[in-house]
Amino acid sequence: MNKILEKEYFSDKVVKLVVENPLIAKSRKPGNFVMLRIGEDGERFPLTIAGSDPVNGTITLVVQIMGVSSSKLVALEVGESITDLVGPLGKPTHIEKIGTILAAGGGVGVAPLLPIVEAFKKAGNRVVTVIAARNKDLIILEDEIRKWSDELIVMTDDGSYGRQGLITVGLEEIIQREKIDECIVIGPAIMMKFASILTKKYNIPTQASLNSIMVDGTGMCGACRVTVGGKTRFTCVDGPEFDAHQVDFDEMLMRLGGYTQEEKKATEIYSQNL
């Protein structure tokens, strides 16, 4: 169980893993995530299921190296196993034929976006996608996303690839060009915040997939709580997707920083011991 069968570096920091887990491969739906733990002293952390192969019993994860846990995961070689892997968690994305979907993915958020883009396309929608990252090295899954999009725009902050500019520039261009029925955004909280402000201006219903800090991922701890429409919700069981226009992104950004000092220290110790 949980054996790593394939490992591919998209860049220095972004790695794709194909992991054996037949039960999750069978039961997962687009939008679901898993919780992982690496080693007996490891922490529990979430990753979106970027794809699955129910026939071969595998799921695909795409992870960006951030701190200790993501580094420990990426340090595992093909043939080694993930200590604990549980899922599928979270509510699946609501997929139906709506019309034209505008999909926006920032950084490693493109990985969770992929199965959603694929599902919307298969449901008969027109899908226009914008993906963006700080620079060329951080653009991932471009070909896979293109396969399921009617149109794809790639953007980088520094102009090293595709078009230069923030993701909102690309989004606004499309919104002004054609009628969008629904928008979905996944990426860093700050990107989701500004994408959401933009689509609100144009009154386009928008879903955002939130990446709050989690411990159990099953609704038991409340670490992942966010304010949506003035009410406290748990990202792991009530989400991870919410009506972006109702999400208090400023609070979410504040909560994401809740353990910054502890994480920094842990990363320092981890790299010293390497």
Ligand X SMILES: Cc1cc2nc3c(=O)[nH]c(=O)nc-3n(C[C@H](O)[C@H](O)[C@H](O)COP(=O)(O)OP(=O)(O)OC[C@H]3O[C@@H](n4cnc5c(N)ncnc54)[C@H](O)[C@@H]3O)c2cc1C
| Least distance (Å) between residue 213 CB and ligand FES | 8
**Hey, which residues between 1 and 60 contact ligand X (CB under 6 A)?**
33, 43, 45-48
Pick the closest to residue 113 from 214, 192, 41 (CA basis). Answer: 192
Can you spell out the DSSP letters for 42-68? PPEEEEE--EEETTTTEEEEEEE--SH
Pattern of binders to other proteins over 68-107, x per CB under 8 A? xx--x----------xxxxxxx------------------
Provide CB contacts within 8 A for 238, sequence distance 6+: 91, 228
Pick the closest to residue 62 from 131, 116, 113, 128 (CA basis). Answer: 113
- What span, in angstroms and rounded, lies between the C-alpha atoms of 81 and 187? 28
- Considering the rule CB under 6 A, would residue 258 count as an interface residue with ligand FES? no
Which position among 104, 111, 116, 171 is part of the footprint of ligand X (CB under 6 A)? 111
Tokens (6 digits) for 27: 């039961």
Bridge partner residues of 208 (DSSP) = 185, 242
Which position among 23, 123, 220, 254 is part of the footprint of ligand FES (CB under 6 A)? 220
Range in contact with ligand FES (rule: CB under 6 A) among 57-65, 98-106, 129-137, 216-224:
216-224
- Considering the rule CB under 6 A, would residue 234 count as an interface residue with ligand FES? yes
**Cα dihedral 171, 172, 175, 181 sign:** positive
Residue with tokens 């200790």: 68
Is the CB of residue 133 less than 8 Å from the CB of residue 10? no
Q: Which does 48 bind (CB under 5 to 8 A by kind): ligand FES, other proteins, ligand X, none?
A: ligand X
Kindly calculate the radius of gyration of the chain based on its CA atoms and give it in whole angstroms: 18
Q: Judging by beta carbons within 10 Å of its beta carbon (0-12, 13-18, 19+), is residue 227 exposed, middle or buried? A: middle
Vertex 161, ends 166 and 197: CA angle to 5°? 15
Is the CB of residue 248 less than 8 Å from the CB of residue 197? no
Which position among 99, 219, 229, 258 is part of the footprint of ligand FES (CB under 6 A)? 219
Which position among 17, 19, 68, 85 is part of the footprint of ligand X (CB under 6 A)? 68
Which position among 2, 21, 52, 69 is part of the footprint of ligand X (CB under 6 A)? 69
Range in contact with ligand X (rule: CB under 6 A) among 4-12, 23-31, 108-116, 197-205:
108-116
- Considering the rule CB under 8 A, would residue 232 count as an interface residue with other proteins? yes
Question: What residue ranges bind ligand FES (CB under 6 A)?
Answer: 214-217, 219-224, 234-236
Q: Which residues bind other proteins (CB under 8 A)?
A: 23-24, 27, 37, 41-44, 68-69, 72, 83-89, 215-216, 218-223, 225-227, 232, 237, 251, 254-255, 257-259, 262-263, 266
Residues lying near ligand X in the complex (CB under 6 A):
33, 43, 45-48, 62-64, 66-70, 108, 111-112, 211-214, 240, 256, 263, 267
